[in-house]
Amino acid sequence: MSTIKNYLSLVKFSHTVFAMPFALIGFALAVRYDSPIKLLLQNPFEFHVNGHVLHGLNPPIEFYLKIFVLIIVCMVTARSAAMAFNRYLDRSFDAKNPRTALREIPRGIISSPHALRFVIINCILFIIATFFINKICFYLSPLALFVVLFYSYTKRFTPLCHLVLGMGLSLAPIGAYLAVTGEFAWLPLLFSFSVIFWVSGFDIIYALQDEDFDKENKLFSIPSAVGKKNALGISSLLHVLSAICVIFAGWYGGFGWLYWIGSAVFTGVLFYQHTLVKPNDLSKVTLRFMTANGIASLIFSIFVISDIIF
């Protein structure tokens, strides 16, 4: 049990709440607006359920349940692989940084080889899960893994690393939509853009804590490149863009009042956090601060999905 707890801590499993709600939004959008039902009206096909072949236009509930479970598996395994790989790759830096020195690998709670093995296992499980979803998800699975794993290298050569992190998490809504429909659409892409700007913005805020350390160790980040004050300005701009995407998605998707309540909560948190952080006062930039962002996305998803259903 302690081993499981250590690995959950390694990947900060509780922070799965960041991208998971947007994956659920992508799933709900696909089922409601552009589901296989629409495609099947033109192209009837076979469903294989419990060894039986079913013919028809409407997919049975088993189809959606299967895809839903596989989406959850993909989200957990991809994020676990990405987070563990980041911890593995940054182990020497984490050991030198007082803020991160107590993490599992620097303390020897989890060895480097075991962490790398954990990454490989999760990557394999992710690819297997996509195989049972559909062909396009399976074919794109190596690309998705590349994006989420590549982020760990970016701090070595570009201050735009925050945007790469955002891009990795932004795969959630469009990936879930693809899992159901097998095709791209603009509405889930708008939510993906919102995630890119949202995650990049709060990751810049979180990186403010390591500005001096990054400079000393020749690591790249927005704060180390432009300073705390300018970094906060860039973060604010990214969060404005995220809010614009959320608002435009609401208009484009023709959502109702529940959506707008959820978007008000989400955008409100985006702007409120900037009142808490100052260039000379980072006392409120904690893991709890990060979790607040995740809770905001969870509340947003509840209102969006409720709007879709009702």
Contact 81, 68 (CB under 8 A): no
Residue 57: is its pLDDT beyond 50?
no
DSSP 3-state assignment of 49?
strand
Predicted confidence at residue 42, as pLDDT, reads 39
pLDDT tens-digit series, residues 116-133? 999 999 999 999 999 999
Mean pLDDT, residues 32-55 taken together: 48
Averaged pLDDT for residues 135-142:
95
How confident is the model over 184-241, as pLDDT tens digits? 899 999 999 999 999 999 899 989 999 999 999 999 999 999 999 999 999 999 999 9
What's the pTM value of the predicted model, to 2 decimals?
0.88
Percentage of the chain lying above the pLDDT 70 cut? 86
Tell me which of 187-201, 251-265, 288-302 is least confident: 288-302
Alpha-carbon span 145 to 97, nearest angstrom? 28
For the chain, the domains span: 2-309
- How confident is the model at residue 11, as a pLDDT? 67
Q: Does domain 2-309 have CATH number 2.40.420.20?
A: no
Q: Quick one: three-class SS letters along 221-281?
A: CHHHHHCHHHHHHHHHHHHHHHHHHHHHHHHHCCCCHHHHHHHHHHHHHHHHHHHHCECCE
